Amino acid sequence: MSANLAKEYLKSSGQTLRDFPGLCGELANELLKVTPNGQIVSVSGIGVFDTTAWTYHTVVMVDGVVHDAWRKRPLPLKEWLKTFDCEWPIEISVDGVEVFKGLASEYFPVS
């Protein structure tokens, strides 16, 4: 599998997650500027992160693989969604279009 483009972007710009001045959406937008074949994927819902107050997360996906700066390596979308597998429904949108609403464990990509 290829390198994590989000981590590579931060490294090439001399930044880390800790000192990046924005949130996940801003990082995804910056990454999209240098990844023209990327798509913006957003996940929202009560259970997005059980340990924080976050109710959404936004990343860039290229060819079905999610490049999330909070993960060590890029992951296929279905595998990445396991992060959000809890008892609460989530909503997934790709480039602003809702593609799924339900439990992450019930997501099956349409090919």
Give yes or no for residue 1 having a pLDDT over 60.
no
pLDDT at 111: 47
Q: How many CA atoms lie within 13 A of 78 on its CB side?
A: 7
For 50, which DSSP code? T
Max intra-chain CA distance, the chain: 39
Report pLDDT digits (tens) over 54-84.
688 899 999 999 999 988 899 999 899 887 7
pLDDT at 93: 95
- In this structure, how many other beta carbons lie within 10 angstroms of the beta carbon of residue 1? 8
More confident position, 53 or 16: 16
Whole-angstrom distance, CA of residue 29 vs CA of residue 52? 23
Q: What is the pTM of this model?
A: 0.85
Domain ranges of the chain: 5-106
Report pLDDT digits (tens) over 81-102.
887 777 788 899 999 999 999 9
Spell out the alpha helix ranges (H) of the chain. 5-12, 24-34, 77-81
